[in-house]
Amino acid sequence: MPGSSGLWPSIVPIMMLIASNVFMTFAWYGHLKYKDSPIALAILVSWGIALAEYCLAVPANRLGSAVYTTAQLKTMQEVITLVVFTVFSWVYLGEALSLRAGAGFMLIAAGAFCVFTGKT
């Protein structure tokens, strides 16, 4: 089992944020594939999925705060969200990424670069 030294404390929060974002994306957008189901059912199922998301995101941020600033954690969260969402919308919903959306995501990634390369 990895110890608390090395890259492990930096990687665990990222892995947990990726997993939490998969749950979050399914909670928020997964029901769009089933538009004929009642909205109340979509809400209840989404709440259940969101609980798993919170069970990963909260400790990821707690652990990550030992290594990253809160600005870095939030920025990481947003970039992970965009990557997970892009894959989800393409694979699960069958939607292609438009050039305009891709350009917008790249601008957000440029902002993330500024957050991670600036002095704290």
Q: What is the pLDDT of residues 32-68, one digit of tens each?
A: 999 999 999 999 999 999 999 999 999 999 999 999 9
CA distance linking residue 62 with residue 73, whole number of Å: 10
Within-domain flag for 87: yes
Within-domain flag for 2: no
Domain count along the chain: 1
CA distance linking residue 79 with residue 117, whole number of Å: 15
* Range name among 2-6, 25-29, 35-39, 93-97 with the lowest pLDDT average: 2-6
Within-domain flag for 84: yes
User: Buried b vs exposed e over 47-61: b needs ≥16 C-beta within 10 Å?
Assistant: eebbebbeebbeebb
Tally of CA atoms within 13 A in the half-sphere of 26 that contains its CB:
16
Residue type at position 11 = I
Range(s) of the domain holding residue 95 = 8-117
Q: In terms of residues, how long is the chain?
A: 120
Q: What is the pLDDT of residues 53-109, one digit of tens each?
A: 999 999 999 999 999 999 899 989 988 998 999 999 999 999 988 899 889 888 988
